[in-house]
């Protein structure tokens, strides 16, 4: 793959074969960035999983870097008031379902009470393609709307392994202090380790690479998990 002059100059600034400690890697990614915009810092974590295994959960990173999310809650009755008072941008039942059916998607995350999922499930083709379908595994199907909305407003975000057993996630901006990005990365890796399948053998996390949107990847050293 051909790269531009700035990318090639950036690559010369570090040792490709070295594994950098978390704090050092986060500082290096900031130093290597060259684009004129505020690049996103992305992490790519390869897991050693069996074909039948996957990892999916949510995490609240300690240092936020995105604007506040617009939260939509599918609910009815008194739950509508609870959702709006908790900070949801939209709350309702049939009215919101009809709007989404019509193509309206002016929100960042959707939450639903369990009694609404029969109707919300009919929006699968619309919400599923955008990754917006409420799911119990990510805490977005619940009657405790106050807690769910509060966590989402703090920046709770979903991570999941793809078909290649890799988790890709944005964890910061190059304009942030390296210490803030480092804290976010450490928090994420701890959450991933918590999701280790009970029957996983050897090192659960195979490799961790960090990069900015346009910059080269930096290999992050990690504490090897104990073999089981």
pLDDT, position 226: 40
pLDDT, position 225: 41
Q: Is the pLDDT of residue 122 over 60?
A: yes
- Is residue 53 exposed (0-12), middle (13-18) or buried (19+ Cβ within 10 Å)? middle
Q: Is the pLDDT of residue 11 over 50?
A: yes
Q: Is 210 helix (H, G, I), strand (E, B) or coil?
A: strand
Report the candidate in 55, 49, 41 with the shortest Cα–Cα distance to residue 158.
55
pLDDT, position 61: 92
On whether the 71-153 domain is CATH 3.90.1150.200, my answer is: no
71-153 matches 5-64+157-219 in CATH topology: no
Whether the Cβ atoms of residue 138 and residue 158 lie closer than 8 Å to each other: yes
The model carries a pTM of: 0.74
Q: What residues does each domain of the chain span?
A: 5-64+157-219, 71-153
Q: For the chain, how are helix, strand and coil distributed in percent, rounded to 5?
A: 35, 20, 40
CATH of region 5-64+157-219: 3.30.190.20
pLDDT, position 227: 40
pLDDT-wise least confident of 97-111, 128-142, 192-206: 192-206
Q: What percent of the chain has pLDDT over 90?
A: 68
């Amino acid at each position: 793959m051909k790269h531009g002059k700035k990318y090639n100059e950036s690559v010369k600034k570090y040792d490709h074969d070295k594994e950098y400690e978390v704090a050092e890697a986060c500082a290096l990614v900031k130093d290597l960035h060259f684009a004129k915009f505020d690049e996103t810092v992305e992490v790519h974590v390869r897991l050693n999983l069996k074909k039948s295994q996957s990892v999916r959960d949510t995490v609240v990173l300690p240092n936020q870097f995105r604007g506040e999310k617009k939260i939509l809650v599918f609910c009815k009755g008194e739950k509508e008031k609870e959702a709006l008072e908790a900070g949801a941008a939209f709350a309702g039942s049939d009215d919101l379902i009809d709007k989404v059916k019509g193509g309206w998607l002016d929100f960042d995350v959707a939450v639903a009470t369990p009694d609404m999922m029969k109707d919300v499930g009919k929006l699968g083709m619309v919400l599923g393609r955008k990754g917006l379908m409420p799911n119990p595994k990510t805490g977005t199907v619940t009657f405790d709307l106050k807690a769910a909305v509060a966590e989402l407003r703090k920046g709770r975000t979903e991570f999941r392994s793809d078909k290649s057993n890799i988790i890709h996630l944005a964890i910061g901006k190059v304009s942030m202090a390296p210490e803030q990005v480092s804290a976010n990365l450490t928090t994420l890796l701890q959450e991933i380790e918590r999701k280790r399948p009970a029957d996983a053998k050897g090192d659960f996390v195979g490799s961790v690479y960090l990069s900015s949107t346009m910059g080269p990847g930096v290999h992050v050293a990690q504490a090897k998990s104990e073999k089981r």
